């Protein structure tokens, strides 16, 4: 009875290729992610940024519309697209590595001491990858469910935020990132699809298995 009742919570249609008795799949969770940085800063360890990420904003894109006036009406075509900036909030760790990497990247973009800029974009641009994870850890390997690859990135703005005697919050650094292009790649079969678990000595595979 309980198993039959579960099917009432599933929205299945006749054209759906999935099993009519399959329950709702686990959604991707906002807190299961990581941000990977390439060519960020000078000679540092970009993974120090990854460990201190608080939150990120996934990319957003819009297309300029091209209106075409015709006989009795009007139609629209897609024109040039534009990627909006993305934001990354970081904890400023006690070692100073995060602040140092951010400072190095800013110095690559603009030498504030000598008041000199880079000769070309490739001298300072970096890459950021946002990966949505399935929750695997420890003995169960992490699986990437989705990856956003952001190319041609540079820091458009930095906010070192406030210091306050009246709070218990960590010191943070906020980055606004402008980038040239982004590619979205779904990678895995589903949440927990290959995360193995042992129950009573029997190996049980995750959701999406048969």
Per-residue pLDDT of the chain (210 residues; tens, 9 = 90+): 455 565 666 666 555 555 655 667 788 999 999 999 999 988 778 899 999 999 999 999 999 999 999 999 999 999 999 999 999 999 999 999 999 999 999 999 998 888 888 888 888 999 999 999 988 888 888 889 999 999 999 999 999 999 999 999 999 999 999 999 999 986 654 444 444 444 444 444 444 433
CB atoms within 10 A of CB 19: 11
Tell me what pLDDT residue 10 has: 64
Domain presence at residue 155: yes
Examine residue 7 and state whether it is found in any structural domain, yes or no.
no
Number of domains in the chain: 1
11 inside domain:
no
Structural domain contains residue 35? yes
Q: Is residue 154 part of a domain?
A: yes
The enclosing domain of 87 has a CATH number of: 2.30.110
Domain residue limits at 118: 26-192
């Amino acid at each position: 009875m309980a198993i039959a009742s579960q099917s009432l919570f599933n929205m299945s249609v006749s054209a759906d290729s999935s099993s009519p008795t399959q329950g709702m799949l686990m959604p991707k969770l906002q807190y299961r992610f990581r941000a990977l940085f390439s060519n960020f800063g000078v000679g540092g360890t970009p993974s120090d940024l990854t460990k201190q990420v608080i939150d990120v904003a996934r990319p957003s894109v819009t297309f300029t519309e091209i209106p075409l006036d015709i006989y009795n009406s009007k139609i629209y075509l897609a024109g040039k697209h534009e990627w909006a900036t993305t934001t990354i909030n970081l904890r400023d760790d006690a070692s100073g590595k995060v602040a140092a990497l951010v400072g190095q990247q800013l110095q690559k973009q603009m030498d504030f001491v000598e008041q000199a800029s880079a000769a070309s974009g490739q001298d300072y641009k970096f890459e950021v990858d946002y990966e949505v994870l399935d929750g695997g850890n420890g003995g169960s390997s992490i699986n990437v469910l989705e990856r956003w690859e952001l190319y041609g990135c540079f820091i458009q703005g930095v906010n070192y935020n406030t210091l306050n005697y009246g709070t218990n919050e960590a010191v943070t650094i906020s980055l606004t990132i402008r980038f040239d292009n982004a590619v979205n790649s779904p990678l895995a079969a589903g949440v927990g699809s290959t995360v193995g678990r042992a129950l009573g000595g029997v190996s049980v595979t995750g959701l999406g298995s048969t």
